[in-house]
Structure 1
Amino acid sequence: MVDEIIAEAENQMKKAIEALKLQMQNIRTGRAAPGLIEKLQVEYYGVNTPLQQLATITAQEARLLVVQPFDKGSFSAIEKAIQKSDLGLNPANDGKVIRVPFPPLTEERRKDLVKVAKNKIEDGKVSIRNIRRAHNDDLKEMLKEKMIGEDDEKRGQEKIEQLTTRYIHEADEVGHHKEKEILEV
């Protein structure tokens, strides 16, 4: 029983790290990549929809993305979503496609992006700590209901703490890698 809780905690922590890595991909580093905007939520007929479901996104040059919407009626909604994102992009609509130029990053913008990355890393760490708390609560509940002994509860909490330490360290590594990537000129 305790091993099941530990395995579930580890599985959830792995998923938190995977989600964090996906969020890091959405922080731009000076190069145009479709992954930067494909997950942006676009309000389309009252429903938030990922951009990749509304358009084809291609990187035609190192600093230019081209968005080809499937529906002509979605042009303005896509433009608004790109402008509202924290990526600092200014799309241009020519009636057929939306061009998204990536200006070179200034030192100030790089520092802002590092702050955004650090906030996302901290959110990831908080979710890992929440997973730890939830599973420790499960162990305490099992002890209270006399399903496990105190030794098992203590051993389970120690293993969950080890997992937490490991995955928080992994989140820090993801953050350091992204910070280095952003500050690279």
Structure 2
Amino acid sequence: MHTDFMKELNDRMNQIFVLFKKYINKNYAIRISPDLLEGIKINYYGSQIPLKQLSNITVENSNTLKINVFDNKILRDIEKEIFRSKLELTPLVSDNIIRIVFPALTEDRRKKIFKLICEESETCRINIRNIRRDANHKLKKFSQDKYIGNDTEYDMQHQVQKMTDNYMKKINSLLLKTKKEIMKI
């Protein structure tokens, strides 16, 4: 029970951390990548289809993405969805190709991006602390029901706290690394 409990706990905390990393990479990458458009879905014959399945997305140069759409009938729909996305991008349509030019990041924009990442990091910390609270509650219940002894409960709570501290350090480390990347001019 002890190892299964700790493994499940570690998996849950790791999942939160991995989601945080994906959030940063997908939404606030400093380098231009087709992955930035991953969350955009297009209504195509009644179904919500990811943009990457309806087009070929390539990096044209250091600040431009080029989208070659397979079905030109949905060109304007794609343009509208990109414009509506939270990425604050303006697509340019010409010759059945959509280009997205990413503006240079100003200091204000960089600060805004970092502030949003900090907010998401706090959400991750809260989720990890909630996982810790639930685990400690379960351990207390196991102790009350005599599945484990008081000493075992104390030891496991100590391990839970060490695991929590470890994931908090990982989040803080990733946050610092991201700040350096974003604020680099």
Give the number of the structure with larger relative contact order, counting CA–CA contacts within 8 Å between residues 6 or more apart: 1
Query: Does 1:57 pair with 2:84?
Result: no
Quote the Cα distance in structure 1 between the aligned partners of 2:121 and 2:141: 30
- Within 5 Å, which residues of 2 pair with 1:40-79? 40-44=39-43, 48-79=48-79
How much is the aligned-residue C-alpha RMSD, in angstroms? 2.2
- Aligned-residue offset at 1:106: 1.3
Tell me the secondary structure at the aligned position of residue 26 of structure 1. helix
The equivalent residue for 1:149 is 149
Cα gap change, 1:20/1:100 in structure 2, threshold over 3 Å: closer, same or farther?
same
- Matched residues, percent identical? 32
Between the two proteins, the alignment pairs up a number of residues equal to 184
> Is contact 2:29–2:36 with CA below 8 Å preserved after alignment?
no
Distance across 2 between alignment mates of 1:76 and 1:137: 53
Alpha-carbon spacing, 1:4–1:169, altered in 2? closer, same or farther (3 Å) = same
Matched, 1:100 2:100: yes
CA distance in structure 2 between the partners assigned to 1:105 and 1:148 by the alignment: 55
Q: 1:77 to 1:160 in 2, by over 3 A?
A: farther
Q: Cα offset for 1:6?
A: 1.2
Alignment check: 8 A CA contact 1:30 1:63 kept: no
CA 1:49–1:155 in structure 2 vs 1: closer, same or farther (change >3 Å)?
Answer: farther
Contact 2:55–2:70 at 8 Å: present in 1 too?
yes
- Structure 2 unmatched ranges of 5 or more: none
SS at match of 2:154: helix
Mapped to 2, the partners of 1:47 and 1:139 lie a distance apart of 46
Match of 1:183 in 2: 183
Matches of 1:153 and 1:95, distance apart in 2: 67
Equivalent residue runs for 1:19-58 within 5 Å: 19-38=19-38, 40-44=39-43, 48-58=48-58
8 Å contact kept, 1:41–1:48: no
Identify if the C-alpha distance between structure 1 residues 136 and 27 changes in structure 2 by more than 3 Å, giving closer, same or farther.
same
Deviation larger for 9-18 or 129-138: 129-138
Mark the CA change 1:139 to 1:23 in structure 2 (over 3 Å): closer, same or farther.
Answer: same
Q: 1:50-69: CA deviations, max 9, x gaps?
A: 43333322111110011233
**Structure 1: how far apart are the matches of 2:133 and 2:77?**
40
State the distance in 1 between where 2:138 and 2:74 align. Answer: 47
Is the contact between residue 27 and residue 113 of structure 1 (CA under 8 Å) also seen in structure 2? Answer: no
Residues 66 and 100 in structure 2, CA contact (< 8 A), matched pair in contact too: yes
**CA–CA distance in structure 2, aligned partners of residues 130 and 53 of structure 1:** 37
User: Structure 1 CA distance, aligned partners of 2:103 and 2:141?
Assistant: 54
Contact 2:42/2:51 (8 A) holds in 1: no
Work out the CA distance in 1 between the residues paired with 2:58 and 2:82. 15
Identify the residue that residue 159 of structure 1 maps to in structure 2.
Answer: 159
- Deviation, 1:9, is 0.8
TM-score (norm 1): 0.86
Q: Which has the larger radius of gyration?
A: 2
Alpha-carbon deviations, 1:24-74, whole Å to 9, x = none? Answer: 112345532112222x14252565554333332211111001123344454
Measure the CA separation in 2 of the matches of 1:131 and 1:152: 19
Structure 1 residues 5, 67: CA separation in 2 closer, same or farther (over 3 Å shift)? same
